[in-house]
């Protein structure tokens, strides 16, 4: 673990070492020739001294805080924080930092935390069925950098989107799902994700229900998109049902996947007003745009480590 020390002997990856052989951050006034940026997010029971402890630790490691956001939930008495910090590459190596921060800070405050290198794109596996609008939108946003992530695999319970996916140079995996093959199919999805080293699952209008065990394993790592007509209009044609009822507001919801169908912690929602003159096909077209927008923002914020689970809710730092 990284420590400041007035006594050094030898070097480790170009950095000083203490007498005990532990690498140390450079002394004040002397900077590591390589500076790196990290994003630290954390949550813990709220109490006095959390911000002071985190700030002091980062300063001790030679870090400069570039952004800092925090939130205290008075209802749950939990504290949430997101920090962007820049510091010497040695002290802020992700694994080294994780171990050091755990022992020096996180264990004292019962923290759950993550630290990531924002320069490394997160790896997505996208699940699809027949509709392609959310998938195509994600293709474009990932390619242009609007969503800082890489789509490393696409899996579908239908084969209809294979030409589209493969034309983008991304592997497509056809994984049919029936009532009798659901367990086998989900095991295959796990294998695909593992082989592709996917970190996040995105259900881009994937019309299958994941099992409770898979949902539990993917807690906070799988994002779903659906229309916001639930619970009033269920089934495969919600926009037609909404048209028949004369709705004046339509929308889309992006949320984390849980065993409670379409009731996971909400990350983002988008809405649009419509009038009596809008036909069902127009409602569906507006809905597709809303679904793309809400899903893209949810995925972007997730891969930027701006979202922290707060029970059945989320904290989203803008």
Rounded to the nearest 10 degrees, the angle between the axes of helix 238-245 and helix 280-303 is 120
d(CA 155, CA 180): 19
User: In this structure, what token pair is assigned to residue 297?
Assistant: 């923002």
Give the start-end residues of each E strand in the chain. Answer: 11-12, 15-16, 35-45, 64-73, 78-88, 112-116, 122-128, 149-156, 172-174, 200-203, 222-227, 249-256, 266-273, 307-310, 313-316
User: In this structure, what token pair is assigned to residue 46?
Assistant: 């709220």
Q: What are phi and psi of 222, to 5 degrees?
A: -130, 130
93 is catalytic: no
Catalytic residue among 46, 73, 262, 289, which? Answer: 262
Q: What are phi and psi of 6, to 5 degrees?
A: -85, -10
Contacts of 158 (CB under 8 A, 6+ apart): 128, 129, 130, 174, 176
Catalytically annotated residues:
262
């Amino acid at each position: 673990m990284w420590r400041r020390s007035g006594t050094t002997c030898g070097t480790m990856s170009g950095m000083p070492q203490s007498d005990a052989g532990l690498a140390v951050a450079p002394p004040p006034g002397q900077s590591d020739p390589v500076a790196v940026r990290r994003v630290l997010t954390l949550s813990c029971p709220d109490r006095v001294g959390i911000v002071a402890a985190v700030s002091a630790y980062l300063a001790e490691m030679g870090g400069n805080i570039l952004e800092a956001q925090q939130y205290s939930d008075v209802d749950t008495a939990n504290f949430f924080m997101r920090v962007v910090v820049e510091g010497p590459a040695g002290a802020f190596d992700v694994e080294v930092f994780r171990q050091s921060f755990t022992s020096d800070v996180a264990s004292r405050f019962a923290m759950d935390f993550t630290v990531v290198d924002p320069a490394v794109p997160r790896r997505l596996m996208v699940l699809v069925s027949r509709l392609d609008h959310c998938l195509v939108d994600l293709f474009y946003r990932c390619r242009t950098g609007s969503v800082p992530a890489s789509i490393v695999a696409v899996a579908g319970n239908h084969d209809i989107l294979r030409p589209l996916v493969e034309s983008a140079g991304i592997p497509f995996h056809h994984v049919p799902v029936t009532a009798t093959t659901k367990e086998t199919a989900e095991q295959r999805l796990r294998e695909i994700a593992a082989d592709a080293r996917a970190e996040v699952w995105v259900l881009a209008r994937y019309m299958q229900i994941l099992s409770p065990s898979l949902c539990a394993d993917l807690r906070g790592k799988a994002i779903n998109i659906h229309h916001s007509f639930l619970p009033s209009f269920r089934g495969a044609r919600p926009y037609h049902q909404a048209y028949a009822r004369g709705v004046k507001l339509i929308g889309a919801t992006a949320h984390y996947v849980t065993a409670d169908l379409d009731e996971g912690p909400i990350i983002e929602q988008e809405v649009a007003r419509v009038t009596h003159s809008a036909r069902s096909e127009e409602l569906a077209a507006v809905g597709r745009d809303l679904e793309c927008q809400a899903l893209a923002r949810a995925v972007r914020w997730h891969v930027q480590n701006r979202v922290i689970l707060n029970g059945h809710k989320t904290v989203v730092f803008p």
